[in-house]
Structure 1
């Protein structure tokens, strides 16, 4: 029978887990923020076309991610691998992702760009959803915000490291893709070699699900009010974050007028990463000590929204730097505390992977909406309107956490 863990995890568990997340999330966001926009410029002939291609590639890949995350969640709940039920889905996902990233360097048409990025999304969804499901499998409730703080660090430091590598290799688009693919694999090696999780006893496997059962299972968790509100809050904050970041390269180039948008984006990423990393662990420790999650979720959401205001009404490099710090502080605190909150409102212990896959929809679906909505907003109303939406969606996320009753 699946039970809630009671023994704290240590550095031998935490380090490989953090590194594989750094590689997975870092590779995805480094490509999405730096290399994919550059590739879109090379294979299209106008500013409108490059924004449209970026929107299509991001949107289609995000839709793929939604489906794969849920399917992998369902399958990993039933996997009886000797090194843990999530292990093959994480390692296999990283390999697929790295192959897709490397292949993307040879994509020379809009269709090829979208197809290769979709392959990357398959690997990203598999590894990304399974690696988060390991937390409720192995980590006690009283340590989850601290452990999840390293999720926030990985989300900020991973893109920083891989964006830096991509910028160093910026003389060749193909070399950029190959460097990012190699870094993704290298960062996953400690997990592949050393990771151990409690294996699932074959007798405890959930019943083999039919299509009807799976579809019903996707809706059932949302009938639990606390889970549903947590899903809405996650969707709101991720939409806010996506709106702030998906078109940041073009914002720096077209609105701020940065002469070297690659370097400018790297500077902002450094500020964002340092801010997020600096606040994540203290926020997680405070949350675990007091077991109060919601207050920090509200504060961090407001900080992220404030970043949107700065970007909207002060399109200068100095103001963008302030916005990056605010965004990092907000998202770093949010990622650690909200991830811990989510693990406490999962409706079923047996279906952790599937339910976290549904939460994963709230991580990814905003990028579908942000890519499509952001492209329209920029082309019709401009960047100021886009970044006002960052504030609006962050405030909605702050409000949605209040009705949750099972977590303080």
Structure 2
């Protein structure tokens, strides 16, 4: 795939004009799914589980997941339609996630929640992989760091804002879900209109036969896959460590720090504000720094180390100030990491014909991290209590940073 596709002058030279519409389209498209997902997943869903089965809440949160990125990404890579290759999948994902959100307001059993949230994950990934693929489809190479920064800003807005909104609906869970549904529709549509991924009916899609057909839907095995998998596993460890905290943040305040529900809600809001400020601040500068100094790998690795320090902090004291320290350090780390991570991922893709599928595999690391982190936390909590899960998360980050530094293709 031509890296300057969609951004070329008539004679084929790459334009020097910065693609702001693409950047803001990515930002709105990302926020459209991320804020509702994180708000419900990290706060309203645990609160609903606590209402239904308070004695099983830790174990049940660890079960909620499924995997769909790879197939949906591969299909969007080969979609030809009057609405573009990515838009049909994003819209289908929008509609089905809304259905799952609505069903979540009605379900009253743990089994129903697990089935619903598994289906939701499938639907959500119809949106995730194609939106990320816009970076590879449309961003000129010299602006990838800065365009990735728009995505990073969105990632760092999404986590705290989703929690801040959700924390106001802890006693009105269904109302919170309805609010997130409206938010998702508005922001997703704005994002798609800004990106403008129009008719691609004239695009030729390579016919696949035999092993090529199989490879289009599986983990890459040809090309320069070493660096790709180092990036994937580095991301898996980073996200897993993050979700050791994020997946249990409500329970950390209530069960580990022994706060009331009202006090927990207040402290969640404070922590989220800190995450928002530090995350957005560092996300804004990360991409431009990467473009200027060509230092994607070093920035991602350094961010992972800082995250490791942040997630270990609550082990020092079972008091809210340690979660605020975590928020400050991890917010800065996530800001820098998210602003350049997608640019790094695009740079290590092994096959330009399988962009969304392979980015879906990268995002699979993100999805698995959101599952593996809480599972690891659940095991540690059940065995030795909350305190030891924090240094364990820190160690995961140090290993992840080491993997990133082993990448050779990217400086």
- TM-score, normalised with respect to structure 2: 0.91
Number of the residue aligned with 1:256? 257
Task: Measure, in 2, the Cα distance between the counterparts of 1:274 and 1:209.
Answer: 50
Equivalence map 1:94-133=2 (5 Å)? 94-133=94-133
Task: Measure, in 2, the Cα distance between the counterparts of 1:162 and 1:341.
Answer: 26
Q: C-alpha deviations, 1:317-364, integer Å up to 9, x for none?
A: 112111111011111111122221111111111111111111111111
Aligned residue pair count: 398
Number of the residue aligned with 2:25? 16
Number of the residue aligned with 1:44? 53
Deviation at 1:197, TM superposition (A): 2.6
Q: C-alpha deviations, 1:130-179, integer Å up to 9, x for none?
A: 11011010001221121111222212212333333333333322112111
Task: Measure, in 2, the Cα distance between the counterparts of 1:389 and 1:223.
Answer: 32
Task: Measure, in 1, the Cα distance between the counterparts of 2:217 and 2:84.
Answer: 26
Counterpart among 24, 35, 40 of residue 44 in structure 2: 35
TM-align CA RMSD:
2.0
Distance 1:317 1:222, change over 3 A: farther
Number of the residue aligned with 2:228? 227
Answer yes or no: is 1:278 the counterpart of 2:287.
no
Q: C-alpha deviations, 1:193-241, integer Å up to 9, x for none?
A: 4431365465521324669614774141586211121112111111111
Paired residue secondary structure (2:265): helix
Task: Measure, in 1, the Cα distance between the counterparts of 2:210 and 2:243.
Answer: 34
Task: Measure, in 2, the Cα distance between the counterparts of 1:401 and 1:126.
Answer: 28
Equivalence map 1:189-208=2 (5 Å)? 189-197=189-197, 200=200, 202=202, 204-208=204-208
Higher helix share: 1
Paired residue secondary structure (1:218): coil
Number of the residue aligned with 1:179? 179
Conserved? CA contact 1:21–1:154, under 8 Å: yes
Paired residue secondary structure (1:262): helix
Conserved? CA contact 2:220–2:358, under 8 Å: no
Number of the residue aligned with 1:84? 84
Paired residue secondary structure (1:220): coil
Conserved? CA contact 1:91–1:192, under 8 Å: no
Q: C-alpha deviations, 1:288-338, integer Å up to 9, x for none?
A: 111111211121111100112211222211121111110111111111222
Number of the residue aligned with 1:4? 3
Deviation at 1:13, TM superposition (A): 2.4
- TM-score, normalised with respect to structure 1: 0.92
Deviation at 1:103, TM superposition (A): 1.5
Distance 1:273 1:120, change over 3 A: same
Equivalence map 1:5-404=2 (5 Å)? 5=4, 6-7=14-15, 8-46=17-55, 49-57=56-64, 61=65, 64=66, 66=67, 68-197=68-197, 200=200, 202=202, 204-208=204-208, 213-214=214-215, 217-220=218-221, 224-259=225-260, 260=262, 261-404=264-407
Structure 2's unaligned 5+ residue stretches are 5-13
